[in-house]
Amino acid sequence: LTSILQQVDPVRIQAIVEKLVSFGTRHTQSSQTDPERGIGAARDWILKEYESYAEASGGWMTVELQSYVQGVGGRISAPTNISNIITTLKGSSEPERIVIVSGHYDSRNTNVSNFIDDAPGADDDASGVAIAMELARIMATHRPLATIQFAAVAGEEQGLLGSTYMAQTLSNRSANVQGMWTNDIVGSPIGDDGKNQSNIIRLFAQGIPTNESTTRATQRLSIGGENDSPARQLARFTVDVSSNPVTGMQVETVYRADRYLRGGDHLPFLAAGYAANRFTEPREDFAHQHQDVRVENGTVYGDLPRFCDWEYIARVGRVTGAAAWSLAMGPDGPAGVRIGTEGLTNESLLRWGRVKGEVEG
């Protein structure tokens, strides 16, 4: 794992972010046929890059263009093709277990419906896509026990469209997704107050599950456990395996699904019942998110590469890589976990179903 993490290259991350920005706008409704500008050009380039990584995998890595047509409604003004690029590194012994790392490659400017003018989207979210791509490149020649998927999804700014389709597709086939992390706005440690927290990354972890049943809610009121949701447990695991000298980072868990008034691609996975977290930089600079590129009263607005810290993104990539690889190399999670409450006792009795495979010891 240390060798894998040491290969995360800030120079490559910079090149990916700058290439994505070079397409001018990656708005979901921008051109899908222009070879040089728009989301279609970005999609095709990401696909080609992922395919080049797969060539080094000896057949273990495959690349899929997952597409559907989103109808008119919400922030979509005309039927629009939504395409996710999903790169799958097949698990060597437990391929049915899936671990996911994602970022969204679409972008926006001040007007969420403006698909004509530039929307560079360096921090939001070329930074997250760069991490998914860099980890795919490095891990292509390694063999995790479980399957790892590296996704670049579209339609996030229009309502989490691509990630919703991906999560629903996995849920419809009862896929065993054991953990999902999205990197969204992970490009800079400097907030709008100028404070630099270069060794901190926030990790958002939901408490009460989105899909909690009435029965489970009643049980929770009786026995507790509101702090033991799958998302919170995934966050604890993430902190344990990735806050260390190799990553050079401290992961700070925030006990909410996301920031106030915001959302991300982990939310559809939570809604589908999967454990999912979001990484976001410690303090955001809102002059460099969702803004038309301009200078106003001496302030430069716009989500430009000049405001990204490539070494910082690489460190976040190492955090993500440590979490994803460790989960993929770990055992399957227990199923049917129950707490025995048959009688008065000073102990907690836990029961769970037998885990597939041999037990050592």
- Residue 358 pLDDT class (50, 70, 90 cuts): low
pLDDT at residue number 222 = 81
| Radius of gyration, alpha carbons of the chain | 20
CB atoms within 10 A of CB 208: 15
Question: 3-state SS of the chain: helix, strand, coil percent to 5?
Answer: 35, 20, 45
Residue 192 vs residues 73, 196, 219: alpha-carbon distances, Å: 34, 10, 43
Classify residue 199: in a domain, yes or no. Answer: yes
Contacts of 57 (CB under 8 A, 6+ apart): 89, 140, 141
Q: What is the tens place of the pLDDT at every residue in 67-106? A: 999 999 999 999 999 999 999 999 999 999 999 999 999 9
* Residue 262 lies inside a defined structural domain of this protein: yes
**pLDDT value of position 345:** 87
In a domain, 356, yes or no: no
Residue 339 has pLDDT above 60, yes or no: yes
Q: Please report whether residue 358 resides in a domain.
A: no
**Does position 52 have pLDDT exceeding 60, yes or no?**
yes
The number of folded domains in the chain is 1
* Percentage, residues of the chain above pLDDT 70: 99
The domain that contains 269 carries what CATH number?
A: 3.40.630.10
Residue 125 in any domain: the answer is yes
319 in a structural domain: yes
213-227 mean pLDDT = 85
| Domain limits for position 278 | 2-351
Give the confidence band of 281 by pLDDT, cuts at 50, 70, 90. Answer: very high
In this structure, is residue 133 part of a structural domain?
Answer: yes
Q: Is the pLDDT of residue 19 over 80?
A: yes
The residue-averaged pLDDT of 305-320 equals 99
The tens digit of pLDDT for each residue in 108-159 reads 999 999 999 999 999 999 999 999 999 999 999 999 999 999 999 999 999 9
Report the alpha-carbon distance of residue 254 to residue 206 in Å, rounded. 9
Under 8 Å CB-to-CB from 316, ≥6 apart: which residues? 127, 131, 183, 186, 201, 249, 279
Confidence of residue 361 (pLDDT cuts 50, 70, 90): very low
Give kind and range of the element (H or E) at residue 128.
helix 127-139
Asked if residue 359 has pLDDT above 70, the reply is no
pLDDT-wise least confident of 18-22, 28-32, 154-158, 213-217: 213-217
**Within a domain: 140:** yes
Quick one: pLDDT at residue 355?
76
